[in-house]
Amino acid sequence: MMKILIATKNKGKVKEFQAMFESLGVEILSLADIEGSPDVEETGTTFEENAVLKAETISKEMNIPVIADDSGLEIDALNGKPGVYSARYAGIHKSDEDNMEKVLNELKEVKDSERSARFICALAFARPNEKTIVVKGECEGKILREKRGHQGFGYDPIFFVPHLGLSMAELSKAEKNSISHRAVALQRLNNLIDEEDMLWQKP
Ligand SMILES: O=P(O)(O)OP(=O)(O)OP(=O)(O)OC[C@H]1O[C@@H](n2cnc3c(O)ncnc32)[C@H](O)[C@@H]1O
Ligand SMILES: [Mg+2]
């Protein structure tokens, strides 16, 4: 079975990639499996830049193919914030809970009709001596007034998916992985790789 390293330390992302890659016959490793792996500083101003930075740094260092995910939440009433700062919105050492609380507080006075938001996921696939591929996926929704559900990770409990009538944290793993920003991006990456005739699974 082919193995791919996902350059992330986020356990929520790793679980979702493992589930989504299962059907492609690819085994997923993450930076959590590699002792002493470096923290790549996310200095980019876009999701794509940060994904490329993370993937290329680790791919060069280890000389293997690497996928990196840079993702986050864009809220229209906050002019796109927290955006690329989603992981550290409430501060560097703050938790998902703190981040959600900050968002809920900032949106206290915002009407239901103006609470539109989207999750964004940029994936970069970096390989030694090849051009890096970057794709982006989105998932549209609205910010709730309080947390709902216990599945998923990050901002999922405050993100409402209108066409399903549930929060992202109320969806089963399979449901989230069929509609999420990460699923859309991975599908796009898979299509590009098929076009390049470079299938995940080598014969
Ligand atoms: O950089 P790595 O090591 O991959 O891990 P990270 O957690 O720092 O990941 P990002 O820099 O991409 O920041 C993503 C932020 O957006 C949140 N996020 C990303 N995908 C999400 C999802 O599917 N559901 C809820 N929140 C998500 C996540 O909780 C983080 O706060
Ligand atoms: Mg990060």
Question: What's the whole-model pTM score?
Answer: 0.95
Annotated binding site: 8-13, 41, 70-71, 153-156, 176, 181-182
Q: What is the pLDDT of residues 119-161, one digit of tens each?
A: 999 999 999 999 999 999 999 999 999 999 999 999 999 999 9
Task: Please check whether the domain covering 2-195 is classified as CATH 3.30.70.3000.
Answer: no
Annotated binding-site residues for substrate read 8-13, 71, 153-156, 176, 181-182
Q: Is the ipTM of this complex over 0.95?
A: yes
Could you tell me if residue 23 is left (phi over 0), alpha (psi between -120 and 50 degrees) or otherwise beta?
A: alpha
Instruction: Write the pLDDT tens digit of every residue in 11-61.
Output: 999 999 999 998 778 889 999 888 888 889 999 999 999 999 999 999 999
* Contacts (Cβ under 8 Å, ≥6 apart) of 143: 75, 103, 104, 107, 115, 117, 158, 159, 160
Nearest residue by C-alpha to atom 6 in ligand 1: 10
Our answer on whether the CB atom of 141 is closer than 6 Å to any ligand 1 atom is no
Do 146 and 190 contact (CB within 8 A), yes or no?
Answer: no
